[in-house]
Amino acid sequence: MDTAQLSFENIKMQSLFLTLMMVLCLFFAAWAKVDMTMEESVEVYLGDLADIPCQYVFSEQPRAVMIQWFVRNPGSSSRERIYYGDNTQQIVDDGTDFTGRITVSVIGDQEGVLLTIQDVQLTDEREFFCQVNGMAAGNGEGKTHLRVFDPPEAPVIEGVHAGISVTNELPSRIASCEARNSFPKPNITWYRDSSPLTPTHGQINVVTLVTREFSGFYTVQSELQYKVAKEDKDALFSCEVSYYVPEGVRTAKSKVINITVHFPTTIIELWKESPQGLVKEGDTVELRCQGDGNPPPPFTFNREQASDDTLVLREVIRGDSGVYQCRSLDLDTYEQVTGDMQLTIHYLDPAFVVPKDSEILLKGESLTATCNALSSLETATVWFKNGQQVGKGHMLFLQDATYDTAGEYVCEVTVSSLPGLHTSGSVHIIVQGAPQMKDADREVEMDEGTGKWVNLSCEAHAHPLPTISWTVTGSQSWREVLTRATEHSTVSVVSVKVTSDITAFCNATNDIGTETKSFSIRASKPPSEGNGVIIVVIILCILLLAILGSVLYFLHKKGKIPCGRSGKQEITKENPNKDDIVVEMKTNTKTEDAGLLKGVNGDKNVPSNQVTMDMKAIR
């Protein structure tokens, strides 16, 4: 025989042997039993380690056990062995997807083995078969489905950039959501705010596209088609992806987006943007128009052209008051919507004062002045003179006019509710009358020394302005040193030399009358030199008397001069001569100062306080 024939014969013998062994196994299996225990599925993350246990129990103790692991080929019902082991050897088959990545070990003390797969791949998701053969003790087979998981990337949402009109009849595409690189295939759910969206005919459509990548991962794209309403202008849309993991199901949410909703204008508001509060003549006014539509429609105003939605009125006058209106035309529905407002321009006319400009009064007369200003608001009037308030109200009463009444009166008209409105007017009051001087009815009296110069002043109030003249009697030496005139008075000052008693008259005169004021000056002579000598002599006499009195008092104390009750003492000698002198001293009770002062003033009477010396001949 040649080599080919020998090989064929060997194959026939091996096949016959295997067939016989199978028959024997089936024969003995009818009597023997093997209980197999395997998990229905094992779940594991991509790249992790997978353990698939295979447990078996023989009803009879086998002499030998042969274990084989098989895996189902993708997309078919065929199987491929990846492992063989018995009591003598353990072989991992070459040329399979699991070569170099699997090991088989015994599970503890129990009868069973553990298939371990390292670095699990997506293609490892298959059915794994554990086949146990105990020969005459029986055989059995079990299977486990290996499931592989890999979470997707975070979902990415993108909304449409263009506006979506509520007038569209069919649902419009508003956003798309994508979840990439997931295994197994994930699911996408849409949300409006926090509420999930369910496909509804004519309202909500969800279009989903699932792509299996070359790498084996799944990418899911979902498009939301939605019939928008006006209320959706503030709504937030998002998508949520749910995916499987070994522990169950997890979810991941996208960011939220807002869409632009276009809807027609149904209401227009027109209001005053500036100024705040009431408007007065001369203000610049801004009117603003706004509608509730989107996008905002173009506006037109009924009075003037405006820029966009704002109408500017510069330096308004009262004639600008009235109703203002803005209009818009919706280009989708061709409906016109209007809004209006009332604008009131407040005013205050210039003050009108009666009497106008100026008024002449005679002294003692009365006058009522009025100040009025036409205004759209309530006004208040205050009168001032020289910066001081002199009255309130639009009428000013001047009674019993005097020269102090004359002057300029200013009325100020204000509006309390609108401080920017104010005006003023004035009237000049002139009081006419004869000249008037202070204390003209009382003569001014003065005592001045002869030879002195004396200033006499005179001030006269009057309108028309008075002139002042002087009449002086008793002196030829006088002159006017000052004359000054104001709006209502004249002042004159003269200087007069006193040579004797003088009478002077100040005469103030105008077209209405005359006023006179008189001055009387009494001239007095200065003290002469003779009177001075007399005064000195008197003083010396008083000093001598004081010294003599002191000596006599001393002698009296020593007892050398006895005195009687009468207050007189005679001084005698034993043999008096007729030529001897008796001295008698009398002292008055009044003070010496009074008599001395009278003597100084030139009084020739004997002083009241004196010392009298009587010279008597003693016979």
Q: How far is CA 230 from CA 263, 331, 429, 510, in A?
A: 6, 17, 74, 92
Dist. CA 523–CA 528, nearest whole Å: 16
Mean pLDDT of 92-115: 89
Mean pLDDT of 127-131: 96
| Contact predicate 389/462, CB 8 Å | no
Q: Which residues, in sequence order, are CB contacts of 389 under 8 Å at separation 6+?
A: 382, 383
Dist. CA 150–CA 47, nearest whole Å: 9
Q: What is the DSSP letter of 234?
A: G
Q: What is the pLDDT of residue 481?
A: 86
Q: What is the pLDDT of residue 613?
A: 34
Q: Report strand pairing: 66-72 vs 79-85.
A: antiparallel
Q: How confident is the model at residue 604 (pLDDT cuts 50, 70, 90)?
A: very low
CA-wise closest residue to 498 among 481, 522, 480, 518: 522
Mean pLDDT of 265-275: 91
Q: Report strand pairing: 248-253 vs 156-159.
A: unpaired
Structure tokens at 221: 């794209």
Q: What are phi and psi of 478, to 5 degrees?
A: -155, 155
pLDDT tens sequence across 564-590: 444 444 433 444 443 443 333 333 433
Q: What is the pLDDT of residue 17?
A: 46
Dist. CA 387–CA 394, nearest whole Å: 18
Percent of the chain with pLDDT over 90: 53
Q: What is the DSSP letter of 348?
A: B
| Contact predicate 531/525, CB 8 Å | no
Q: Which residues, in sequence order, are CB contacts of 421 under 8 Å at separation 6+?
A: 280, 346, 347, 348, 375, 377, 414, 415
pLDDT tens sequence across 392-446: 999 999 999 988 898 999 999 999 999 889 999 999 998 988 898 887 788 888 8
Name the least confident of 126-135, 159-168, 302-311, 483-492.
302-311
Strands across the sheet with 322-329, in order?
Answer: 299-301, 322-329, 336-343
Q: What is the pLDDT of residue 305?
A: 66
Q: What are phi and psi of 6, to 5 degrees?
A: -65, -40
Q: Which residues, in sequence order, are CB contacts of 94 under 8 Å at separation 6+?
A: none
Res 498 pLDDT > 80: yes
Mean pLDDT of 102-117: 87
Dist. CA 568–CA 591, nearest whole Å: 21
Of 77 and 83, more confident:
83
CA-wise closest residue to 279 among 374, 417, 381, 379: 417
Which class for 310: exposed (0-12), middle (13-18), buried (19 or more C-beta within 10 A)? middle
3-state secondary structure of 143: strand
Q: What is the pLDDT of residue 330?
A: 76
The per-residue b/e assignment along 523-534, b for 16 or more CB within 10 angstroms, e otherwise, is beeeeeeeeeee
**Measured CA angle at 225 (ends 219, 229), to 5 deg:** 145
Name the strand (E) or helix (H) holding 457.
strand 453-463
Percent of the chain with pLDDT over 70: 82
Average pLDDT over the chain reads: 83
Res 602 pLDDT > 50: no
**Residue linked to tokens 């991962």:** 217
| Contact predicate 453/475, CB 8 Å | no
Mean pLDDT of 7-11: 45
Q: How confident is the model at residue 530 (pLDDT cuts 50, 70, 90)?
A: low
Q: What is the DSSP letter of 334?
A: -
pLDDT tens sequence across 184-206: 999 999 999 999 999 999 999 99
For the chain, the helix, strand and coil percentages under 3-state DSSP, each to the nearest 5: 15, 50, 40
pLDDT tens sequence across 411-420: 999 999 998 8
Q: What is the pLDDT of residue 303?
A: 75
Mean pLDDT of 277-296: 91
CA-wise closest residue to 294 among 340, 342, 257, 258: 258
Q: What is the pLDDT of residue 575?
A: 43
Mean pLDDT of 79-100: 93
pLDDT tens sequence across 338-394: 999 999 999 999 999 999 888 888 889 999 999 999 999 999 999 999 999 999 999
The full DSSP string for 90-152 is EEEPTTSTTTTTEEEEE-TTSSEEEEEE-S--GGG-SEEEEEEE-GGG-EEEEEEEEEEEBPP
Q: How confident is the model at residue 125 (pLDDT cuts 50, 70, 90)?
A: very high
pLDDT tens sequence across 474-497: 878 898 889 998 877 899 999 998
**Residue linked to tokens 């030139």:** 602
Q: What is the pLDDT of residue 567?
A: 41
Measured distance between the N- and C-terminal CA atoms of the chain, rounded to whole angstroms: 233
Q: Which residues, in sequence order, are CB contacts of 202 under 8 Å at separation 6+?
A: 170, 171, 227
Res 267 pLDDT > 80: yes
| Contact predicate 196/241, CB 8 Å | no
Dist. CA 28–CA 63, nearest whole Å: 13
Dist. CA 192–CA 227, nearest whole Å: 12
Q: Where are the alpha helices (DSSP H) in 280-377?
A: none
Res 115 pLDDT > 50: yes
CA-wise closest residue to 132 among 172, 178, 86: 86
Q: Where are the alpha helices (DSSP H) in 250-385?
A: none
Name the least confident of 7-21, 155-169, 228-242, 451-465.
7-21
Q: What are phi and psi of 578, to 5 degrees?
A: -75, -10
